[in-house]
Amino acid sequence: MFVSMELSFGFVSVMLILSAYVGLFLERGHLLMVLLLLEAVMLGLFLFLLFGLGESVSNLYLCLVLISFGACEAAVGLSLLVSLVRTHGNDFVSTLTIYEC
């Protein structure tokens, strides 16, 4: 029974990653939604490393590194979101162009 539960957590984590990527490709609106979908990808990767690959010491260190990168990603994303809202007045992805510097 324990093996099947571990297998189901691995399957759920892979489905979370895939559904977050599909949502990321379909999202054309707000930057905050894009950031939330990126955090869902990080959560899915964390769960996959924790439950899908088994429990070894190297996987636990890799999980710690992944969570650290996820926290840094969230901090940088939120700071970019705040600066975007201050300069443009909204967080729509469609207002971002390459030609505005």
Q: Where are the domains of the chain?
A: 2-95
Q: Which CATH number applies to 2-95?
A: 1.10.287.3510
- Please give the chain's pLDDT, 101 residues, in tens: 455 555 677 788 888 899 999 998 887 788 888 889 999 999 998 888 887 776 666 778 888 888 999 999 999 999 988 988 888 888 887 776 666 55
Given this model, what pLDDT does residue 55 score? 67
In Å, the largest CA–CA distance within the chain is 57
Give the other-Cβ count within 10 Å of 91's Cβ: 19
Q: What is the pTM of this model?
A: 0.78
Q: How far is CA 63 from CA 11, 13, 37, in A?
A: 18, 14, 19
Burial of 79 (0-12, 13-18, 19+ CB in 10 A): exposed
pLDDT at site 76: 93
